[in-house]
Amino acid sequence: MIIVVDTSGSMRDYAAARDAAFAQAFRWLPDNLRSDDELVVVDVAATAAVRLAPVSMTGVPASVPPPTGVPDGRDTLLGPALDVIGALPPTPCERSVVLLSDVQFADLPPDEAAGRALMSRVGVRAVLSLVPGEDIQVPAQWATAFPDAPPVRFDGSDSEQTALVLGGAAATATGQRLDEDAVG
């Protein structure tokens, strides 16, 4: 599972809740996912960088590493995150991307075929889109490029709800079922 974290300016209001949710998730994931499941965290804005290199659930650190400080620019770009994902070492795991973002990417593919080709190029099987607000206007182009990744909306200013959504996404990405009583 590769969590791609949008750290651009448009996501600044959700940063504190997101980081608190990561703290909860990093405690929860090792006890609730398979030991051979892997986790990667990539930050994205105008560029992208690995925040947490691939690690099995038995190696998940006790605390989430701090954001990488990727530069924000005029546009938020998906391409740099996919380039980083494509450069990750080979893994026996199927790669799923959990995108924590408002999906305001300036470089979305023009159609579903291009979206599938882009994900296939970097070895991604599935994309889950977590959008931290009901009022965020997801571009129509997102549904055109990634129709199998409709936004899962939640209150991104609530760390508990953010953690629950991350836990659900982790279960989906790894083909498991979430026991909501176990999260938190």
pLDDT tens profile 127-173 = 999 999 999 999 999 999 999 999 999 999 999 999 999 999 988 88
178 falls within a domain: no
What's the pLDDT at 99? 97
Would the pLDDT of 184 be above 50? no
pLDDT tens profile 33-45 = 888 999 999 999 9
What's the pLDDT at 179? 61
- Burial string for 127-153 (b: 16+ CB within 10 Å, else e) reads bbbbbbbeebebeeebbebbeebebeb
179 falls within a domain: no
Domain of 76? Answer: 2-171
80 falls within a domain: yes
Mean local confidence (pLDDT), 5-30: 92
Closest-CA residue to 163 (of 21, 23, 38)? 21
Can you read off the two tokens belonging to residue 154? 């939640």
62 falls within a domain: yes
Whichever domain contains 13, its CATH number is 3.40.50.410
Q: How many domains are contained in the chain?
A: 1
Would the pLDDT of 87 be above 60? yes
- Per the DSSP assignment, residues forming a β-bridge with 5 are 43, 100
Can you read off the two tokens belonging to residue 27? 């405690």
pTM, to two decimals: 0.93
- Residue 83 gets the label, from left (phi > 0), alpha (psi -120 to 50) or beta, of alpha
pLDDT tens profile 45-65 = 999 999 999 999 989 988 888
